[in-house]
Amino acid sequence: MSMTSQTPPSSGGQSLRQWLLSDTPTSRRQARLSALYQGWLALRQNHMAMVGLAILVVLISIALFAPLIAPHDPFVQDLANRLQPLGSEGHLLGTDSLGRDILSRLIYGARITLYIVALVALIAPVVGLLVGTISGYAGGWADVILMRITDIFLAFPRLVLALAFVAALGAGIENAVLAISLTAWPPYARMARAETLTIRSSDYISAIRLQGAGPLRIIIKHIWPLCISSLIVRVTLDMAGIILAAAGLGFLGLGAQPPSPEWGAMISEGRRFILDHWWVATMPGLAIFAVSLAFNLLGDGLRDVLDPKDSAS
């Protein structure tokens, strides 16, 4: 096999594109890169998904460069300029009840939102994938016990259960993340179990088992990769609910504690002035709406690309 078939061509974008779009890949690496590139081309055709992706890219950029972008220190109080309206001098989105710049607090609050989303996305899907694949592959009493535990978690509304966990663990952003993660994993476990039940009876799994592969190797090497695409779609679509749950905990004073510029806590503070100074609560509310909408738009696009059978149905 020639070297040109193993590595992408280095001269000309068109030749690289042809290499990625080849119908006859000559290596596993080329097949993987080709699948990723074709998925990107399909996602790019979905304009609403690209809008969602653009919003998330802007949010990540704002969070990364918050010290450079924010016009004011989000923690500095200026009681002489409290409750200034939109467009006031030096405060584009006005100020809150303590004279803090709302725009700067929104910019720094993006860091807290991404922190919560990232931690929950690392914990809940992994726990759900582990529980679901073990339950589906092992079957028997393991399946019964794990699924009954899952049903217990699913029996309670997510926010109510999260409130119970935070009340037991104590207020704070880390405890809020843990509480949301503990309430978010059951749907992933259900989905992973359903995928595993389908995959484990396939011919190629039987062939791998006959070659001497143990259950752990089969689950990690052959079942998990087939569950990842559905998991990514579900995680992306669930991000809006996770953001709203975190904002709800912050609104109730159980999430990030003052003076942290968490969007839910900002809404809670501004609700007292909603009639006369509506911008104090409206601006963080619009930020939550925009980010939640972005995740939903991107999730719909990823579902069309990664799980076309689901979107077709």
pLDDT in tens, 224-233: 888 888 888 8
User: Which amino acid is located at 125 in the chain?
Assistant: P
Which of 123, 144, 124 shows the shortest CA–CA distance to 135?
144
DSSP 257: P
For the chain, the domains span 39-312
H helix intervals, 170-223:
173-199, 203-210, 215-218
DSSP 61-102: HHHHTHHHH-SS-TT---GGGTT--TTBTTBTT-B-TTS-BH
Q: Which residue has the higher pLDDT, 299 or 17?
A: 299
Decide if 256 contacts 176 (C-beta within 8 A).
yes
| Mean per-residue pLDDT, 154-174 | 84
DSSP 10-76: -S-HHHHHHHHT-SS-SSHHHHHHHHHHHHHHHHHT-HHHHHHHHHHHHHHHHHHTHHHH-SS-TT-
Burial code (b: 16+ CB inside 10 Å, e: under 16) for 262-298 equals: bbbbbbbbbeebeeebebbbbbbbebbeebbebbbbb
Confidence of residue 2 (pLDDT cuts 50, 70, 90): very low
Half-sphere exposure in the Cβ direction for 119 (13 Å, CA): 17
Q: CB neighbours of 111 closer than 8 A, spacing ≥ 6?
A: 63, 66
Confidence of residue 311 (pLDDT cuts 50, 70, 90): very low
Token readout for 137 is 């592959």
**CATH code that applies to domain 39-312:** 1.10.3720.10
Q: CB neighbours of 260 closer than 8 A, spacing ≥ 6?
A: 112, 173
Confidence of residue 287 (pLDDT cuts 50, 70, 90): very high
pLDDT in tens, 127-147: 999 999 999 888 889 889 999
Q: CB neighbours of 106 closer than 8 A, spacing ≥ 6?
A: 93, 261, 263, 266, 283, 284, 287
User: Which amino acid is located at 199 in the chain?
Assistant: I
Separation between Cα atoms, residue 129 and residue 133, nearest integer Å: 6
Separation between Cα atoms, residue 298 and residue 296, nearest integer Å: 5
Separation between Cα atoms, residue 87 and residue 271, nearest integer Å: 21
How far CA 139 is from CA of 82, 149, 153, 221, in Å, comes to: 62, 15, 20, 19
pTM: 0.82
Q: Which residue has the higher pLDDT, 18 or 51?
A: 51
pLDDT in tens, 103-120: 999 999 999 988 988 899
Which of 70, 134, 150 shows the shortest CA–CA distance to 106?
70
Q: Given this model, what pLDDT does residue 16 score?
A: 77
Q: Given this model, what pLDDT does residue 292 score?
A: 92
Separation between Cα atoms, residue 209 and residue 219, nearest integer Å: 11
